[in-house]
Structure 1
Amino acid sequence: MLPNRSKTSVLVFLLPPLLLYGIAVLFPIVQSLFLSFFSWDGITDLRFVGFDNYARMFVGDDVFWTAFSNSLGYLVICLVLQLGGALVVASLLISLRRGRELVKTLYLLPAVISTVAIAFLFQRIYSLEPTGLLNQLLQWVGLGELQQAWLSNVDTVLAAVSIPEGWRFTGLYMLIIYAALLAVPQELEEAARLDGANWWQVFTKIRFPYIRPVWITTTIIAATYALRGFDIPYLLTNGGPGQASELLTTYMYKTAFTHTDYGYASTISVFIVVECLIAVGLIILLLRRKADA
């Protein structure tokens, strides 16, 4: 549909970002795939081992499976907090008459704060000695017996490292969903209300189907980012205590830079890429199937 000159202009402008994407993203993925078939400590010569790293990962490494299950738990908590919280806040903003800009700004602030600052903030919140905000709140409401070191308890640490990540990006996804809700035709909602539809029916039959494409995209972004989550869990616990908060990303990092086993770390990184691709496929399949139903 574009004239030849326009097509050429588009290609000229697309070429630099495509080259940058290939160098910064595609090349490291290909390099990791190549290294996954070798044993390498970063200094000596590469030693070809074929599929031994993959066999070790799937059959002989219990820590890998622990990290994998932790990553799935981390993913679920982040999605519930980010997408659920974003949808609730965006829906409330639609009905808010004053102070919208202030609320949007306050919810977006965590997304622009330094990751290190967020990690230190939640270290103080979860602290037992000195008493952090969470334990103080429990004391104030008469639940002092529930006070504990949240980052040192194997039963609570995974949720404790997931909550900061979920809180951090809720505002960003809220803005995306809020913009999508603003585009819903008001005539459809008014007609539905005139026909006797309640707020839940308006939301499920009109609003959500209308924003479904945006919801799918937002879910994909949130899921892939959560599966690649690294910085906050690493800063808060470094995967501990034990492997209670070990994620695939933190395990890959320590395998590469602590144990200098770059071949096996590359194998884990390939698995993370495949995991993200499978997650994207499942999200698209499930959400589109629900739409068709």
Structure 2
Amino acid sequence: MLPSRSRTSVLVFLLPPLLLYGAAVLLPIVQSLFLSFFSWDGITDLRFVGLDNYAEMFAGDDVFWTSFLNSLGYVAVCLFMQLGAALVVASLLLNLTRGRQLVKTLYLLPAVISTVAIAILFQRIYAAGSDGMLNQALAWVGLESLQQAWLSDVDTVLMAVSIPEGWRFSGLYMLIIYAALLAVPKELEEAARLDGANWWQLFTQIRFPHIRPVWATTTIMATTYALRGFDIPYLLTNGGPGQSSELLTTYMYKTAFTNTDYGYASAMSVFIVAECLIAVGLIVLLLRRKADA
């Protein structure tokens, strides 16, 4: 649809970021796929093992499946906070007349804070005994019986490491959804109100259908990022206690750089890439079916 000169200009400007993307993203994926068929400790020669790494991963490694299930729980908590809470806050901001900029700024603030600073903050929040801010808050409201070592209890540690990640990026997705809600035609909303539509009908029949493409994009972003989540869980617990907060990413990292088994770690990285692609496909298919319905 563009003139020849315009197409050339577009290609010229697209070429540098595409080359950078290929070198920083696609090339490591290809290298990981290649290494996944070998056994390598990073020093000696590569030894071809075929599909042995994948066979061990799927059939002989209980830690892998524990990490996989933990990753699914981690994703669920992150999506609830990053998309569910972001949608609620964005909807409330539409009706806020004063202090809107302050609320947006405060809600976005965690996204620009250092990951290490967030990990240190939540270590202080989750600290065991009366030193922890969360335990102190429970004591103030008379719920001392609920006090515990949140990062040392196998029943609470996964939730405890998931919440900081969900809180960290909820403001970013809130701003994206809020911008999409602002673009909904006001004439349609006013017509719906005149027809007697309540707030739920207004949201489900007018607003959400218009922001569905943006919602699909934010869902894909939040899901794939959560599936690749690493830094905060690793800094808070390093996968412990036991493997109760071990994620696929933390397990892959320790397999590569602690156990120096780069071939097996590469097989796990390939699985993570495939997992993200499958998740994106399922999200697109689900949202498309709902849109067609």
Q: TM-score range by the shorter chain?
A: over 0.9
Q: In the alignment, is residue 275 of structure 1 matched against residue 270 of structure 2?
A: no
1:86-101 correspondence to structure 2 within 5 Å: 86-101=86-101
TM-score by length of 2: 0.99
Instruction: State whether residues 130 and 136 of structure 2, in contact with CA within 8 Å, keep that contact through their aligned partners in structure 1.
Output: no
- Give the AA of the match of 1:98: R
Q: Which residue of 2 aligns with 1:204?
A: 204
Q: In the alignment, is residue 175 of structure 1 matched against residue 175 of structure 2?
A: yes
Instruction: State whether residues 124 and 132 of structure 2, in contact with CA within 8 Å, keep that contact through their aligned partners in structure 1.
Output: yes
Q: Which residue of 2 aligns with 1:137?
A: 137
State how far apart, in whole Å, the 1-side matches of 2:132 and 2:180 are.
38
Instruction: State whether residues 53 and 267 of structure 2, in contact with CA within 8 Å, keep that contact through their aligned partners in structure 1.
Output: yes
Deviation, 1:132, is 1.4
State how far apart, in whole Å, the 2-side matches of 1:238 and 1:156 are.
15
State how far apart, in whole Å, the 2-side matches of 1:123 and 1:25 are.
32
Q: Which residue of 2 aligns with 1:157?
A: 157
Q: For each residue in 1:63-114, what CA deviation from the matched residue of structure 2 results, as whole angstroms up to 9, or x when unmatched?
A: 0000000000000000001101100100000000111111100000000000
Q: For each residue in 1:172-214, what CA deviation from the matched residue of structure 2 results, as whole angstroms up to 9, or x when unmatched?
A: 0000000000000111111111111100110011101110000
State how far apart, in whole Å, the 2-side matches of 1:202 and 1:19 are.
45
Deviates more, 1:258-267 or 1:132-141: 132-141
State how far apart, in whole Å, the 2-side matches of 1:288 and 1:3 are.
33
State how far apart, in whole Å, the 1-side matches of 2:130 and 2:234 are.
22
Q: Which residue of 2 aligns with 1:289?
A: 289
Q: For each residue in 1:232-262, what CA deviation from the matched residue of structure 2 results, as whole angstroms up to 9, or x when unmatched?
A: 0000000000000000000000000000000
Q: Which residue of 2 aligns with 1:262?
A: 262
- Give the AA of the match of 1:85: A
State how far apart, in whole Å, the 1-side matches of 2:230 and 2:34 are.
23
Deviation, 1:129, is 3.8
Q: Which residue of 2 aligns with 1:38?
A: 38
Q: Which residue of 1 aligns with 2:246?
A: 246
State how far apart, in whole Å, the 2-side matches of 1:131 and 1:194 are.
55
Deviation, 1:28, is 0.1
Instruction: State whether residues 129 and 148 of structure 2, in contact with CA within 8 Å, keep that contact through their aligned partners in structure 1.
Output: no
Q: In the alignment, is residue 63 of structure 1 matched against residue 63 of structure 2?
A: yes
Q: Which residue of 1 aligns with 2:26?
A: 26
State how far apart, in whole Å, the 2-side matches of 1:149 and 1:182 are.
43
Coordinate RMSD, CA, aligned: 0.6
Deviation, 1:130, is 5.1
CA pair 137-130 structure 1, distance change in 2 beyond 3 A: closer
Q: Which residue of 2 aligns with 1:146?
A: 146
Secondary structure of residue in 2 paired with 1:273 = helix
- Give the AA of the match of 1:268: M
Deviation, 1:133, is 1.4
- Give the AA of the match of 1:192: A
- Unaligned stretches of 5+ residues in structure 1: none
Q: In the alignment, is residue 213 of structure 1 matched against residue 213 of structure 2?
A: yes
- Give the AA of the match of 1:173: Y
Q: Which residue of 2 aligns with 1:123?
A: 123
Deviation, 1:3, is 1.3
- Give the AA of the match of 1:58: F
Q: In the alignment, is residue 232 of structure 1 matched against residue 232 of structure 2?
A: yes
Secondary structure of residue in 2 paired with 1:241 = coil
State how far apart, in whole Å, the 2-side matches of 1:20 and 1:188 are.
43
Deviation, 1:148, is 0.3
| Poorly superposed stretches of 4+, deviation over 2 Å | none
Instruction: State whether residues 41 and 262 of structure 2, in contact with CA within 8 Å, keep that contact through their aligned partners in structure 1.
Output: yes
State how far apart, in whole Å, the 1-side matches of 2:71 and 2:244 are.
11
State how far apart, in whole Å, the 1-side matches of 2:202 and 2:130 are.
48
Q: Which residue of 2 aligns with 1:113?
A: 113
